[in-house]
Amino acid sequence: MSRVGKKPVIIPKGVKVVVADGVVKVEGPMGALEQSYKPEVKVTFDAASSSILVENATQTRLAAAMHGLYRALIQNMVIGVTQGYEKKLEIFGTGYLFAVQGKTLQVRAGFANEIHKAIPTGLTVAAPDQQHLTVKGIDKQLVGMFAAEVRAIRKAEPYLGKGIKYEGEVIRRKESKAATKK
């Protein structure tokens, strides 16, 4: 039995939830999200206590695996429509920069050509300056995936620290070969 799955998802005021036909729809002040779920789990909304309870319906191995997963996905949806999610990225290097032009992210990361990446719908991407990028949205998976794709353009390398990293991420620095030949 999942420890995460046992806990009910508390629904704050101002959030509307509909559970019907294998789909959970959550609507809040920042937008609306929906998630379908497998028949191995049973999702019920209790309006009296304003909470969602996810239960293991078939007691199979697959149902046990899905139990905590769907509870966590529903919790992420509730947080997304009330507070939203945000990832911050930094870029280091001479001539490296971020720029947002309409629905396109422009990245200069030391390659011969600039990289242009389309911004998915549902995300707000802003570059307050050329070295920082902020990705905001209500869907945790979409925010994390887009930030990971941008970081994968050129991950920060350990010798000089040049590249793209998350804000607050620590890059373990290595010593160069020249420093060890003393």
Q: Is 173 a member of any domain?
A: no
pTM, rounded to two decimals: 0.89
What pLDDT digit, counting tens, does each position of 26-41 carry? 999 999 999 999 998 9
Q: Is 55 a member of any domain?
A: yes
**Nearest in space to 151 (alpha carbons), one of 170, 164, 137, 167:** 164
pLDDT in the model for residue 6: 86
Q: Which stretches of the chain are assigned E, i.e. beta strand? A: 9-10, 16-20, 23-28, 31-36, 41-46, 51-56, 85-92, 97-101, 104-108, 115-118, 123-129, 132-137, 163-166
Indicate if the pLDDT at residue 179 is higher than 70: no
Q: Which domain holds residue 73?
A: 3-82
**Nearest in space to 36 (alpha carbons), one of 54, 50, 24:** 24
| ∠ Cα 63 65 70 (to 5°) | 85
Total domains in the chain come to: 2
Are 76 and 93 contained in the same domain? no
Q: Provide the pLDDT confidence category of residue 5 given band limits of 50, 70 and 90.
A: confident
pLDDT in the model for residue 180: 67
The radius of gyration computed from the CA coordinates of the chain, to the nearest angstrom, equals 21
Are 92 and 69 contained in the same domain? no
